[in-house]
């Protein structure tokens, strides 16, 4: 006889031993609900324990010199699950574990002295000081004196424990330009195993 059938017979005997059918079904139902609830809670705890997520903003209006690759400094922490970011001129996200991460963000340049045709802005992810991927940029198609918004597309990248990434920007306007304070942000999250 299979284990399933033995268990069913045992339940049937239990029911016949005086338990009312409604009481029997209610007890079974509540036990199953309790089991499912415990499994879901353990999954929630696993996600929280393994979750790595940071978001930083910049209110300072960082000055970006022309034709100089410059590390972007997002100096204000919104959240940082494990204090993985160092702020300042050498801003960086340092991995606490081997994993695949994803970065996205947004920056806005002020108009400064204006933009000319063919001048550009490029934003790249650098890993351990080496350019990895361009995640934002624009080449000016017409001369103008307005703000330039640069959405930074979500980009996955791999880091080993203690390796780091940063964002570097290059602009070729011919003058130092500032980022518009209070609008710029970066978000980095773990998305998978290495």
**Counting runs of H as helices and runs of E as strands, what totals does the chain give?**
2, 13
The whole-number pLDDT of residue 48 equals: 45
167, 107 in Cβ contact below 8 A?
A: no
pLDDT tens, residue by residue, 36-67: 777 777 765 554 445 789 999 998 889 999 99
pLDDT for 21 equals 57
What per-residue confidence (pLDDT) applies to 49? 45
pTM of the model: 0.73
Contact, 54 vs 93, CB < 8 A? yes
Q: Determine contact, residues 181/58, Cβ cutoff 8 Å.
A: yes
DSSP 19-66: --HHHHHHHHHHHHHHHHHHHHHHHHHHHHHH--EEEEEE-S--EE-T
pLDDT in tens, 150-170: 999 999 999 999 999 999 999
**pLDDT score recorded for residue 13:** 57
Write out residues in the chain with pLDDT < 50, as ranges: 47-49
């Amino acid at each position: 006889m299979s284990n399933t059938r033995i268990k069913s017979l045992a339940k049937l005997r239990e029911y016949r031993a005086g338990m009312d059918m409604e009481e029997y079904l209610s007890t079974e139902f509540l036990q199953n609900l309790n089991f499912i609830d415990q499994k879901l809670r353990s999954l929630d705890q696993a996600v929280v324990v393994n979750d790595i997520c940071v978001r930083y903003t910049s209110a300072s209006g960082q000055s970006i010199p022309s034709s100089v690759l410059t590390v972007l400094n997002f100096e204000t922490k919104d959240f940082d699950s494990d204090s993985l970011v160092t702020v300042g001129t050498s801003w960086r996200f340092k991995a606490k574990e081997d994993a695949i991460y994803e970065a996205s963000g947004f920056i806005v340049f002020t108009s400064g002295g204006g933009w000319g045709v063919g001048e550009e802005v490029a934003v790249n992810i650098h890993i351990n000081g080496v350019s990895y991927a361009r995640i934002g940029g624009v080449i000016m198609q017409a001369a103008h004196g307005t703000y330039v918004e640069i959405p930074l597309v979500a980009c996955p990248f791999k880091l080993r424990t203690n390796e780091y990434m940063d964002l570097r920007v290059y602009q070729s306007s011919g003058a130092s330009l500032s980022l518009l304070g209070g609008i710029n942000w970066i978000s980095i999250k773990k998305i998978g195993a290495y």
